[in-house]
Structure 1
């Protein structure tokens, strides 16, 4: 596990974008796993800036997003499909057919598992970008996490609903379920890049780095992955 400490969100985004773009530039037909939420926005902004200034080609890149709210259509402005188009896809020359996001209309886990089959058919994810929940969740794998889980329908815990309520008009509008890559899905990526920012992530980072592997802190499973890079700012690193 490689830990890279930076001063702030801008530095985290710069470093994150460099790692991702190195793969895009140097690998033939790279497959990226992407994340949503406030954490990766700085990374996406700097990816867009460099892509346009250096004319970096995304036409051979395939992406798979971690998750989507159950019940939201791609046109809903709080869906992760909408988020990805607004924050990244509409600003680079990636092919829409190469972007994959779990469907919010999935109704069974058998249907959700097909997402893993699609990832495998593309050769697996070369680099998976992750954020980190205050309770240690990655994707929407809430504690206690099933470490053998594949993409499935998951229930969101109260702390996650409260955290995400800031993106909605009111808390009652936040979906209570999502479709998320499972822990086994995430661990299948060849490389993992996790970015965590702010004091609210300090407990989870302390568990990830110094704790034992424990389903009550889902992120701790990453200790068993052979290639993990963690980018954290000073506040997120405050309990190390």
Structure 2
């Protein structure tokens, strides 16, 4: 014997005319009945003054069928190919920025440069960008997308600048990179909105956008300070502040 759940809701209640709450109606009208020899089915329909919800007919829709091909994602639902491609592009952006920051770390860590605070700052920045890429990879997999990693462009390895000095030049470059990353994230967010994907929109907003504007503000302040101290002894003091910031905290 098969059981068929029938959820009967007064149609007037669904229209919100004050005849009772949804939860009370649900509890008072939910019932189980059996019909020998019939399928276990469900759908949504109006019968006289009641709406009858039969969920097992609804899950037979093509859009909800579980794929049989083992190469296809079982979790994917309302996730467009455009969103999938945009996330893969953003992963590439994050890895490229991380690579540039890693080059800056290597430069300032040289024995003849020896600005350990800047080396520490850019090493940490590189790690954060890689963490962003990994976060996007995990999200892609959660939504049933396919991660495709693109090529990474080799960055500069020298950051000398006759007029600005290497510290200011590198920090201004970092500020430009943070703004570029923010632009790319905003574009990714617009793609999610265009494709009516509120879950992806929320993910980008909550996990990236606030952190990005805070990072832009912090590096902008570093640029302003380095412009004030010039290329001389002040750079060493600035570097020492970066080196011991965590210790002071």
Q: TM-score, normalised by structure 1?
A: 0.25
- Which structure shows the bigger proportion of residues in helix conformation? 2
Q: Structure with the greater relative contact order (CA < 8 A, sep ≥ 6): 1 or 2?
A: 1
Q: TM-score, normalised by structure 2?
A: 0.24
- Which structure shows the bigger proportion of residues in strand conformation? 1
Larger radius of gyration, structure 1 or 2?
A: 2
